[in-house]
């Protein structure tokens, strides 16, 4: 299990994947890393991604409609990558 807090882990994961990752892929990876299960934690990761995006730390690079296999039928799936500001903030907070 990562010693990092979840948002820190999400940022580090995205830093390693410059081509970006879909939100459901990130959620899957975070849940596996922290040994968590269920809709509550998947929703929690999605909320963290919304925070990070609203704060300008992530960029949205693609969207798709969920066919029901990830977060629910009709929901929007987002593909994110780290923004230059996000990288700057990671440096400020010792995450790089």
Per the DSSP assignment, residues forming a β-bridge with 22 are 79
Give the nearer residue to other proteins in terms of CB position, either 4 or 25. Answer: 4
Look up residue 95 and give its two tokens. 């995450």
- Matching residue, tokens 């929703």: 43
73 binds other proteins (CB under 8 A): no
Decide: helix, strand or coil at residue 55. Answer: coil
Q: Is 68 in the site for other proteins (CB under 8 A)?
A: no
Tokens of 84: 């230059």
Compute the distance between CA of residue 82 and CA of residue 12 in angstroms, rounded to an integer: 9
CB of 11 to other proteins, least distance (A): 7
Q: Does 5 bind other proteins (CB under 8 A)?
A: yes
- Tell me which residues touch other proteins (CB under 8 A): 3-8, 11, 34, 40, 48, 50-57, 59, 63-65, 74-76, 81, 83-85, 89-90, 92-95
């Amino acid at each position: 299990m990562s010693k990092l807090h979840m948002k820190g882990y999400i940022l580090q994961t995205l830093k390693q994947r410059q081509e970006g990752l879909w939100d459901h892929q990130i959620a899957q990876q975070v849940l596996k890393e922290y040994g968590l299960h269920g809709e509550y934690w998947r929703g929690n990761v999605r909320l963290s991604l919304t925070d990070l995006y609203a704060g300008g730390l992530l960029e949205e690079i693609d969207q798709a409609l969920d066919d029901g296999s990830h977060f629910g039928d009709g929901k929007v799936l987002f593909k994110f990558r780290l923004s230059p500001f996000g990288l700057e903030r990671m440096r400020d907070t010792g995450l790089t």
